[in-house]
Each structure stands twice: as C-alpha cells, then as structure tokens.
C-alpha cells in the first residue's frame, strides 16, 4: 500500500484551535492551570467552548495530530464531534502526569520524528504556550497561533 504522508500539522487545543477562556484553564503564560482545570472540567462548561479561526486550517494537512496538555474525557470527544474537529491522532495528558507541558508534549510527539512513515513529512505545530514552543522546537517548527487567530478572525 502506498500511503505517503507529505505534511503533518500538530495543533494544541486551548488557545490555539479552541477558545475555552470562559473556563480559565490557562495560566497567564499559556500553561495549563491544573487546579482550575479540575473545577471547570464539567460537560456543561466544555459544551460552551468555541472554535478559534485557526481550526479551519486543520483540513489542509495530510495527517492531523491534536496535542493537549489537559486530560481528555468523553465530553471533550463529544465537543470534537459536534464541531467537526477531526484528527488522525489525539494526544493528551495521561492521568496522574504532572510534567511541564513542553516536556510532556515533546516526549509524546517524538514518534513523528522517529517513525519511518512520518520521518520524511513536513511538520508544523501550533501552540500558544511559549514554554511548549521553546521545548518542542527541538523537534520541528512551532508557531504561535495568537497572531493567526487575530488575522483570520
Ligand atoms: Mg494552549
């Protein structure tokens, strides 16, 4: 089977393709506020999240990865479905994990650099967290989505 993946796009969720600011999940620097996250992670609140303009770019990639430093639950998957957010792979924080966002994501995304079927593909990642951008740029380019979301909006 010839199934060549030419380009891969990796999208953070909160502050990148999803506006969940009403839940105040993020600290000022864009890192996840785990304490606040737990209190505001109800199905009702998740359903009130909105899409950001950059979410329209998802369909342009051959292979799409969602990579979030939050833990995911069924209500999040329902939100993806309701809003037509489709990914080939969804990566989230394992339960009980407290690593820094950038370190966690770099480790979880390493397979895109190592695995044969992804090695040759062009890769770009979007993340509003400066610490993630700095850390994960060791793997591939990471773009700050803030400007893009303002320009397209
Ligand atoms: Mg974010």
Q: Please name which of 147, 119, 152, 153 lies closest in space to residue 8, comparing C-alpha atoms.
A: 119
Alpha carbon of 89 to ligand 1 centroid (Å): 17
The confidence score (pLDDT) of residue 26 equals: 74
Alpha carbon of 115 to ligand 1 centroid (Å): 26
Alpha carbon of 6 to ligand 1 centroid (Å): 25
CATH number at residue 81: 3.40.50.1000
111 domain-assigned:
yes
Rounded to 5 degrees, φ, ψ at 3 are: -140, 70
Alpha carbon of 1 to ligand 1 centroid (Å): 36
32 domain-assigned:
no
Q: Please name which of 49, 47, 40 lies closest in space to residue 71, comparing C-alpha atoms.
A: 40
Burial of 2 by CB count in 10 Å (0-12 exposed, 13-18 middle, 19+ buried)?
exposed
Alpha carbon of 127 to ligand 1 centroid (Å): 6
131 domain-assigned:
yes
**One pLDDT digit (tens) per residue for the chain, 153 residues:** 457 899 999 999 999 999 988 887 777 777 777 787 777 888 888 889 999 999 999 999 999 999 999 889 898 999 999 999 999 999 999 999 999 999 999 999 999 999 999 999 999 999 999 999 999 999 999 999 999 999 765
Domains: count for the chain:
1
Q: Please name which of 62, 60, 61 lies closest in space to residue 4, comparing C-alpha atoms.
A: 62
Alpha carbon of 3 to ligand 1 centroid (Å): 31
114 domain-assigned:
yes
Alpha carbon of 153 to ligand 1 centroid (Å): 18
Alpha carbon of 12 to ligand 1 centroid (Å): 6
For 109, the domain range is 7-20+51-152
The residues facing 65 across adjacent strands are: 10, 89
25 domain-assigned:
no
96 domain-assigned:
yes
Rounded to 5 degrees, φ, ψ at 112 are: -70, -25
147 domain-assigned:
yes
Q: What is the pTM of this model?
A: 0.90
Q: Please name which of 133, 121, 94 lies closest in space to residue 6, comparing C-alpha atoms.
A: 121
26 domain-assigned:
no
3-state secondary structure string across 104-143: HHHHHHCHHHHCHHHHCCEEEEECCCHHHHHHHCCCCCEE
């Amino acid at each position: 089977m010839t199934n060549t993946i030419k380009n891969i796009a990796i999208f953070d969720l909160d502050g990148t393709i999803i506006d969940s600011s009403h839940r105040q999940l993020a600290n000022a620097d864009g890192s996840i506020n785990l304490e606040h996250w737990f209190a505001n992670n109800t199905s009702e609140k998740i359903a009130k999240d909105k899409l950001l303009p950059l979410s329209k770019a998802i369909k342009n990639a051959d292979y799409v990865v969602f990579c979030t430093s939050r833990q995911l639950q069924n209500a999040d998957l329902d939100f993806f479905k309701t809003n037509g957010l489709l990914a080939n792979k969804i990566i989230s924080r394992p339960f009980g994990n407290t690593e820094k966002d950038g370190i966690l994501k770099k480790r979880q995304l390493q397979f895109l650099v190592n695995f044969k079927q992804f090695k040759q593909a062009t890769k770009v990642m979007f993340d509003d967290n400066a610490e993630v951008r700095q850390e994960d740029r060791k793997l591939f380019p990471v773009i700050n989505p803030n400007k893009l979301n303002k320009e397209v909006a």
